Structures are given as structure tokens and as C-alpha cells.
Amino acid sequence: MSDTVIRFNNVTKKYKLYSSTRKRLLGIFFKKIKYKEKKAVDDMSFEINRGESVALFGKNGAGKSTVLKMITGVVFPTCGEITVDGRVSALLELSSGFDQEFTGRENIYLKGHILGLSEDEIKALEDTIIEFSELGDYIDQPVRTYSSGMKSRLGFAINVNIKPEILIVDEALSVGDNAFKTKCRKTVNNIIEKDNVTLLFVTHQTAVAEEFCKRGIVMKNGKIVFDGPVAEASEYYKTKYNPPKKKK
Amino acid sequence: MSRIKNFFKSYIDVFVLIFKEHFGNLHQIGKLSIADLKKTYNGSALGWAWAVIKPIFTLFVYWFAIAIGLRSGKDVGEYPFILWLMSGIVAWFYMTEIITGGTTCIRRYSYLVTKMKYPITTIPTFTGLSHLYVHVILVLVVIAVFWIMGYAPTIYLLQLPLYMLMMFLFFNAWSLFAGMISAISKDFANLVKSLNIGVFWLSGILWNIENIADNKILYTIMMLNPVTFICYGYRNCFVNHTWFFEQPARLAFFLGWYAVLGLLSIWAYKKLRKEIPDVL
């Protein structure tokens, strides 16, 4: 059975760029104030079915992050229609999205509450998350004292463990050391296979994408320029936009 | 014709949406308000005590400046000036927190806007609630002080929760409106901060507006101020022993202000909801 979980219908997203914040404030009240428009996503349409794993390729500024944010429901399209069906767990900029003043443990609860989980549900997940994040005693320290790696680990641990239906990963699998990376990949692979989770994956590393995803979409200037099997998509992306470099 | 209809419909839609967002997230609102409260007082040695120390100190300073320094501050009716002052200023402490704090509430909780899908109309509500908890404690302290000074609670105290509710709802609408505008631009927050001082001195919190009752026009204008309405509403309960329905004109004006503010916040929501995540 293949039902659509994410559908974009002619979606366009324009950002308004004012020359100063003062102009932006005046722009609320007066229509005459001038601003530039930047099209981040340009009349885009696609569908993603349940259980699919899709990689999004594209150079910086191609509109990938905007697409992901619109799926998450954080950013709104200027026109067009988006339907998303299911609990979205987004690994956008992992190191943020925490309340800096709270401890890691309190943040687990806070996030859980915001997502509408009950006290008992969170309690059941708490230990798994803490263990996964490898934070140890630091879990009871305020998040503002964490290093960026620690924040990312905690963010990752929370997001993959709250049983998402749609998992959005934005270049996040490069967190931590090799052992942790491997663990992350294993977990993501695991939940895709077991729980029929839909995965959306953004990366510049085509090799990692090929490992997870079956379908690949290449974006350029807010438009889809290629949509097909991941191997072809990554080939397309590599040859067109990312000419092979010397070894790292 | 249909344009006017659509216009009204869009306002009603947002109004319904705000209700839905609140009733669908009661659990989250409760938890986040407690979290906000904790955050305010965490990390200082005296912690919770500050919630009481700061207002008492402020009250003392004002009382000293007026009663001792300016040799003003006559008794009001049978009540000493300091009790009269206290009964009104306790409401002001809440209002000033929300006037300035509410303006920055969406900015402070930007991670709820830009990092996850969260109903942002509830941000003013839970930040307001967290201040309301402290306010209720302070009101209980005021009641206790009145009692200790020999003025036992009267039946007029029964209307206090009503004034409290009106205050909460009014400033909730304010936070939603101001929070959204200042999410777009910090200038607005600075503007509000400067105006806040003016509101304080013009609202008859420190001095009794009844003193200028002989200047009918000025007196009437002053009484239309919603901050004054709440402040003197509290004094109705504690000192003046007047029921809220005995001053129907004032109540009507307050509700009028509330309607205007409500419409403004819906207007701001319609206009800015989509833009805020782009700029925060």
C-alpha cells in the first residue's frame, strides 16, 4: 500500500528582504515600503509516499532547507499547498531547539510535552534517550554549558527515539565520532525498516545518501531538476554541480 | 459585499484558531508556564524569595519617596496610605511585567517558532500564566498584610478574581499583539519600554486620581485608561468597597479597549504569522 504522506502542490516560497529592520517594521504598516524578493522555492510539486526514503541534493541556496522547514510546518509557503500526514520529527540544526537554561533531562521532558507526549510516555523513553546521547552525568547540567557536539547528540537522541512517522534529517548524521556516527546510521536504518518511517535526507555527501535512500531529488534555484533512483540522482548531482575533487 | 463578508470571516477564523490552539494544547501550556516560572528564578541563590523581595522593596521605595520625601500620601478613607498604595501597585507589578515582558515573549521563545511546529498564540498565554502564579502569591500577601493591620477581608474581595481574569485576558491580547510586532523589529520593544514609564506615572498608581476629581474632563480621561481601571478595580476590592457593576461606564470602556486590542492582535496574527519564522 502506498499512501501519500507529503504532497507539495505548486509551492512557492518568497522571502522578503528589506534593507533594514526599520524598513521591515514600517513595512508592516505601509505597503509602499520597498523590499527585494528572493524566491527560495519556485513552483515546486512532488509527492512522497509512506515508507519512502528520499535524499535531497542541491548546492547551498538551492532551497533544500526551506523545503524541509515547510514540511516541518515551521515555515509557511507564500503560495501553493502542502499536505503532511503524520508526526514529523525534524533533525534541523540539531544543536538548537533547546531551552538553554534547562538541563538536558528537563529539555527531554520539555520537548516531549511540546510534542504532546504524556508524562509516562516520556519517562519510558528517558533512559533510552540518555543512554543513546552518551551524555552521562552531564544530562543534569544546563544545556548552555554543553558543547555543540553534546547538544547535537542530545538532539539526535531525542528525535529518533520519540517514534517519528516522518523523519527529516538535515546533514545531521555527521555528529560526533565515528562510533557515534555508525550508531546513528544504524538507528535510522532500523526505524526506517521496522516502523515504516518516511525519511527525508539532505546532504552533500552523496555516498551517505545512497546508503539510506532509494529515491533522490536534485534541486537547483528552487526547482526540481532531477527526480529518480538515488544512484542516478547522485550521479547527476555529482557531474553537474559537484565536479569530483581531489582526495580529502 | 462579499469582500466585507470575507474580511469578517477571516477575523473570526483567526479568533476560532486561537481558541482551538489553546484548548488543544492545555497540557503544554501548563507545563511550559511552570517551566517559564522555574527559569525566571532558577540559578540565583535566593531563588523564589526574589518573587517577593523585589516587589516589597519597590513598594517601600515608593512609599518612602511619597510619604516621607514629598510629605504627601494622606490616608485614604480609613486606610493608611501605604495600604492604599499596596492594593493598587500589586496589580501594576503584574501589568508592568507583561507590558514589557509580553512584548519580548515570542522573541524569547524563538526556538518554539523556528525549530518546531508549535502554536505560537499560546506563547503569550503561558508566559502570562507564569507571572500570574507569582501575582496570586503577592495578592495573598497583600490580603494577609491588610488583615495583620486590622482590616479583615470584606465581601468586596469576592470580585477580585474577576478583576484578575480581566487583567490576565487584557494583557494576554496585548502580549500577542506586541510580541508579534516586536518579533519583526526590536525597535518596538524599545518603544514600549520607554512608554511603560509614562503609563506608570499617568495611571494613578502612586497618586490618587480621586484628588483631581474636581477637574471633570481630566478625571474622566484618566479613568478611561485600562491600566487605571484594573488598578482602581483592585482598590475597589480592598479599600473603596465598590462593586464593579456600580461603575458600568468604566467597565464598558475597558471592554471596548479589550475589543480593540483583540482585533489588533488578530490583525497582527493575520499579517505576520507567516513572516515571523523567516525573520526570527
Same domain for A170 and A146: no
Cell of B187: 525597535
Q: Tens digit of pLDDT for each residue in B114-159?
A: 877 778 888 899 889 988 988 998 899 888 888 888 888 888 888 8
Would you tell me which residues 20-79 of chain A have a C-beta closer than 8 angstroms to some C-beta of chain B? 21-22, 24-25, 28, 69, 72-76, 78
According to DSSP, the residues that pair with A218 across neighbouring strands are A57, A226
CB nearest A96 (choices: B111, B186, B273): B111
CA neighbor of A101 nearest in space, from B37, B28, B123, B134: B37
Q: Tens digit of pLDDT for each residue in A124-179?
A: 888 888 888 777 788 888 888 887 777 877 887 887 777 777 877 776 556 667 77
Range of the domain at A152: 96-162
Shortest distance between the Cα of A179 and any Cα of chain B, in A, equals: 27
For range B11-17, the mean pLDDT = 85
Question: pLDDT value at position A242?
Answer: 59
pLDDT confidence tier of residue B256, bands split at 50, 70 and 90 = very high
* A144 touching chain B per CB within 8 A: no
Mutate to test the interface with A, among B29, B33, B117 (most CBs of A within 10 A): B117
Distance CA A211, CA A199 (A): 12
Cα torsion angle, B221, B223, B228, B230, sign: negative
Grid cell 524566491 is found at A39
Question: Is residue A146 helix, strand or coil?
Answer: coil
Same domain for A175 and A71: yes
A116, A147, A162: which is the final residue of a domain?
A162
Pairwise pLDDT comparison (B258 vs A212), residue with the higher score: B258
What's the burial of B163, exposed, middle or buried (CB within 10 Å: 0-12/13-18/19+)? buried
**CA distances in angstroms from A9 to A46, B29, B112, listed in the order given:** 7, 33, 26
Domain CATH number, residue A233:
3.40.50.300
Q: What pTM, to 2 d.p., does this model score?
A: 0.81
Phi, psi of A83 (to 5 degrees): -120, 130
Same domain for A61 and A137: no
* A18 touching chain B per CB within 8 A: no
Q: Tens digit of pLDDT for each residue in B37-89?
A: 887 777 666 667 777 888 888 888 888 888 887 777 777 778 888 888 888 88
Distance CA A46, CA A111 (A): 30
**Crossing angle between the packed helical segments B186-202 and B81-101, to the nearest 10 degrees:** 170
Same domain for A224 and A190: yes
> In angstroms, how far is the first alpha carbon of chain A from the final one?
43
Residue contact A101–B43, C-beta within 8 A: yes
Domain ranges of chain B: 2-279
Same domain for A136 and A247: no
Distance CA A33, CA A19 (A): 10
For range B4-25, the mean pLDDT = 84
* B108 touching chain A per CB within 8 A: no
Distance CA B249, CA B259 (A): 15
CB nearest B278 (choices: A75, A114, A142): A75
A162, A177, A204: which is the final residue of a domain?
A162
CB nearest B185 (choices: A25, A92, A106): A25
Taking residue B74's Cβ as centre, other Cβ atoms within 10 Å add up to 11
Q: Name the DSSP letter for residue B245.
A: G
Mean pLDDT by 10 residues, chain A (248 residues): 73 79 76 76 80 78 78 81 74 65 81 77 82 80 80 79 77 67 77 77 73 78 76 72 51
A115, A147, A162: which is the final residue of a domain?
A162
Contacts of B113 in chain A (CB under 8 A): 74
* B274 touching chain A per CB within 8 A: yes
* B272 touching chain A per CB within 8 A: yes
Same domain for A82 and A3: yes
Count of structural domains, chain A: 2
Q: Which residues of B182-221 are buried (b: 16+ CB within 10 A; e: fewer)?
A: bbbbeebbebbeeeeeebbeebbbbebbeeeeeeeeeeee
Cβ atoms of B81 and B156 closer than 8 Å: no
pLDDT confidence tier of residue B170, bands split at 50, 70 and 90 = very high
Same domain for A73 and A4: yes
Same domain for A143 and A189: no
Contacts of B187 in chain A (CB under 8 A): 21-22, 25
Pairwise pLDDT comparison (B14 vs A171), residue with the higher score: B14
CA neighbor of B134 nearest in space, from B111, B105, B168, B174: B168
Same domain for A148 and A75: no
Contacts of A72 in chain B (CB under 8 A): 116-117
- Amino acid type, A73: G
CA neighbor of B105 nearest in space, from B121, B117, B91: B121
Distance CA A90, CA A69 (A): 9
* A151 touching chain B per CB within 8 A: no
Contacts of B115 in chain A (CB under 8 A): 74, 90, 92-93, 96-97
ipTM of the complex, rounded to two decimals: 0.72
Q: Name the DSSP letter for residue A142.
A: B
Shortest distance between the Cα of B266 and any Cα of chain A, in A, equals: 14
